[in-house]
Amino acid sequence: MSKYHLHKIRVRYGETDQMGFVYYGNYSLYLEEARTEMLRSRGFSYKALEESGIWMPVVKLEINYKKPAVYDELIAIKTKIEGNIDRKICFSSEVLNEKEVLLCTAKVHLVFLKHPEGKIVTCPSSIRDLLEVYQ
């Protein structure tokens, strides 16, 4: 992956299942944290976006699990923008362990929604300009 944002998370005990692996549903939380920190790294926040009347709901999530992450492991999430940013945005991620073994790949698709009307709108240019570095 080129032009990606890197975010690291240490797996907590409560995020694992009976087998000692990260519970599959927790990966979506990791991906959300990585997206949020990607925006924050560019000087923007989801909170500011929502306060401006734009919401970004997830409309599609694709995860391909390869190997499990385990308790106390430091995982790295590499995230970039796939395709064009218009009325929707696709965050493409790779999750790796400390040995740089690929644990999973994911794509999270979101749309830009004007609140409270609920109408899908074009991405504000201020956000597009900030995130172009990750395309």
Q: Which of 17, 72, 86, 129 is catalytic?
A: 17
Contacts 24+ apart (CB under 8 A), 39-48: 39/127, 39/130, 39/131, 41/5, 42/130, 42/131, 42/133, 43/130, 44/126, 44/127, 44/130
- Residue 17 known to be catalytic: yes
Active-site residue numbers? 17
